[in-house]
Structure 1
Amino acid sequence: MRSLNRVTISRSALEHNYGVCRQLAGDAAIMPLVKADGYGHGQVDCARIFAEQGAAAFGVAEVVEGVRMRQAGITQPILVLAGTVPQALAPLVEADLTPVLVDPFLVPELSRLAGKLGKIVEVHIKLDAGMGRQGMLPEEFATTVRAVQQAEHLRLAGVMAHFPMADDRQSSNSADVLRTFVDTTGQLRQLIPGKCCLHLANSGGLFYVAGARLDMVRPGIALYGYYPDGRAGRATAEPPFLRPAMRFATQVLQVRQVPAEKGLGYSHLHVTARPATIAVLPVGYDDGYLRSLSNRASVLINGKRAPVVGRVSMNLTLVDVTGLGAVRPGDEVVLLGRQGEEEITADEIAAWMDTISYEVLCLFGNLNDRELVA
């Protein structure tokens, strides 16, 4: 028996979105980000699909994610983007993962473990070129490069940084970050012989920042069908358009006729102004459908929008289906995605939640039964 709440992920949409990113990337390699369980879309399934499309590497946040992918048979390089700790170095080396060093602290122990296992570990260095969150400042860069260069069992394979404002096309920040990154990594020509992969562009960098492709790009949200600047990006996009890959649906649990001036749910946050037909849905904040959607969201029933009324609770949500025709228990209700000619996107839900599409997708995808479909 399965839950009434069902998330489906479209393989064809994921393949299409990879193709859009491939076209924009030009000659640059593509490293899909599959951290956070593939932004809620299923880390291993997404990695397999993107590998079939030619992905050069994958990005995860933690060592445990990379180990899981190796156990699933993923053979491409897997970069652990958020850094790591001494306790996680042994499984990292054993699984042939690629650590991203945020400072030189781990270099000696990482090299020792690599030597003990008879391996040469490729590493990438994270430069803080303006993100202000993690990595080393430009003035610390050369010291860390030399530390890696002098480590017997390590090899510097790449340098990365991150854009903090690439989703804001009007900001000059991205040009500044790109300039800092290019100027700082220019020191590599004197420090390191041979090829070193330079990568900076996330989805925003790929779509909106000229000159940011470099050797490799790291799309995340775009692969799952959403523009980094949300509804503004979708409104101004040119074909080929990204296609949302996730759909979240449930079923009507009960249909009730209630009189005017009837308080509904916790705190009676909604009081009916007229006699109303109310559908009860078996979904709530336990499923990622947050309380902030109370009296704000809409769902699709019979191809039409029905407003959420009253407080979203842990496992139940009420919607007003007055005037929408016959609605019965078991009827499909779409919370995210298309039904008929209508569509509710993660960007729209994000606006109701006062957040971004990334969080919506992670919540829905990670908290509900999920199935990969064509």
Structure 2
Amino acid sequence: MPAPLPSPRYEIDTAAIRHNFGRLRGLLPAGVAAFCSLKRDGYGFGAGPVAAILAAAGADGFAAARLDDAAAIRAAAPDKPVLLYGGTLAEEAAEAEALDLTVTIAGAHDAVTWNAALRRPRPVFLKVDVGLLRFGFGEAELAGFLETVLPQCDRLDVVGVYTHLSEKPDAPAEAIAAQKRIFDRAVDLCRRHCPALRWVCASSTDTVHGERDLDYSMVDVGVLLFGLSPPAKRAALGLQPALTGIRTRLTAIRALGPETPDTVGLPAGIRSFGIASFGWGDGFPKRTPNGAWALVRGQRAPVVGPPHLEQIRLDLTGIPDATVGDEVCLLGRQGDAGITMYELAAQWGLKTEDLICGMRGHVPKLYL
């Protein structure tokens, strides 16, 4: 007998990830490198497994925000450059060297401390802040740094410069253009002082679709790889959802009669309910959305609140043949019925990015 599939579990469509990368790669002119951002464990999809998929599909490099994600990427893609975004302190230099990471330098303090901590010269990117007010050199600060501090940092080999744009959906086109002008001036400064400069990057998820003047020599894409974007952009790009299943099982069925103690206030009319092993500790919303439901035996089973850390209740009154062990489908196909990633996000009152960021690392992933 085959081993039972884990419950609960996420199901991930690896072909969709390859397809989405291919669509994005096809937008880029020849000579523009495609780096794949796999922050937060690859946005919940698994930094290591996804890096292996994308490396085989032709990704030029990767980026991560934490050392654990960078380590998973390095194990899966040993020959690809891995950029470590800003936020890691120089006290982690030994691990960054062991993993052969390209480090971000986002200020003069970064430069001095990393230069002192590194044992040998290491490729680094400079991060420029054009208004997002996170990590990065301001324009005036960068000029002084390149003139006075960088020449003293003999272990920092500047091979790239990048920025993250402030990309509010309702921002006028001029807002992006103004940020680009700041970045262009910063790039000119870097070219004058950094002879090994190879990578220049400003375009990421929100601009890679239509801003060809931001391509430079590299783009950095993230959530688009998993089909996460507004409907119009998703349709224009032909993206496919990578999260195609959230499944668990019924672990108990209870009859509800007039004499049954009820301290949670179940709605009137429920005669039978089931317990499914998937709660807010696994990614279900902590407050049950109005109208939330799952599939049991191909039929809709309303979710009855409140959800618990590891369990939810399902109204099985209309599914009298349900039994313990039946599959509960929160996302995916079951019989003739189905729920897509986009439909589930709408059902739960979330953006698709919020749905994905609710994925929990302890829930097993099944790569299909």
Asked if Structure 1 and Structure 2 have the same fold, meaning a TM-score greater than 0.5 normalized by the shorter chain, the answer is: yes
C-alpha distance in 2 between matches for 1:244 and 1:341: 20
Aligned: 1:271 with 2:263: no
C-alpha distance in 1 between matches for 2:124 and 2:57: 25
Query: Of residues 220, 225, 248 in structure 1, which corresponds to 2:227?
Result: 225
Q: Which residue of 1 aligns with 2:98?
A: 94
Q: Which residue of 2 aligns with 1:165?
A: 167
Residues 341, 165 of structure 1: CA spacing in aligned structure 2 closer, same or farther, 3 A cutoff? farther
Q: Which residue of 2 aligns with 1:286?
A: 281
Deviations 1:269-319 (A, max 9, x none): x422x2444232111122122312354522223334332112001122112
Q: Helix, strand or coil for the counterpart of 2:242? A: coil
**Deviation (angstroms), 1:250:** 0.6
C-alpha distance in 1 between matches for 2:347 and 2:287: 7
Residues 322, 176 of structure 1: CA spacing in aligned structure 2 closer, same or farther, 3 A cutoff? farther
Q: Which residue of 1 aligns with 2:141?
A: 140
Whether the 8 Å CA contact 1:59–1:78 is kept in 2: the answer is yes
Aligned: 1:22 with 2:18: no
C-alpha distance in 1 between matches for 2:167 and 2:34: 21
**Deviation (angstroms), 1:359:** 3.6
Q: Which residue of 2 aligns with 1:330?
A: 325
Q: Which residue of 1 aligns with 2:158?
A: 156
Residues 160, 262 of structure 1: CA spacing in aligned structure 2 closer, same or farther, 3 A cutoff? farther
**Deviation (angstroms), 1:187:** 2.6
Deviations 1:80-117 (A, max 9, x none): 11332131122212322111111121323433444x3x
Q: Helix, strand or coil for the counterpart of 1:308? A: strand
In structure 2, runs of 5+ residues without a counterpart are none
Q: What letter corresponds to residue 25 of structure 1 in structure 2?
A: L
Deviations 1:332-359 (A, max 9, x none): 2222334355443444544565554334
Whether the 8 Å CA contact 2:342–2:352 is kept in 1: the answer is yes
Q: Helix, strand or coil for the counterpart of 2:358? A: helix
Q: Which residue of 2 aligns with 1:202?
A: 204
Query: Of residues 210, 233, 238 in structure 1, which corresponds to 2:236?
Result: 238
Residues 324, 232 of structure 1: CA spacing in aligned structure 2 closer, same or farther, 3 A cutoff? farther
The CA RMSD measured in Å over matched residues stands at 2.8
Q: Which residue of 1 aligns with 2:189?
A: 187
**Deviation (angstroms), 1:12:** 1.2
Q: What letter corresponds to residue 300 of structure 1 in structure 2?
A: L
**Deviation (angstroms), 1:254:** 2.7
Whether the 8 Å CA contact 1:260–1:275 is kept in 2: the answer is no
Work out the number of aligned pairs and report it.
362
In structure 1, runs of 5+ residues without a counterpart are none
Q: Which residue of 2 aligns with 1:215?
A: 217
Q: Name which of structure 1's ranges 41-50 and 305-314 shifts more when overlaid on structure 2.
A: 305-314
Aligned: 1:84 with 2:83: no
Residues 282, 145 of structure 1: CA spacing in aligned structure 2 closer, same or farther, 3 A cutoff? same
Identity over aligned pairs, percent: 26
Q: Which residue of 2 aligns with 1:253?
A: 251
Q: What letter corresponds to residue 64 of structure 1 in structure 2?
A: D
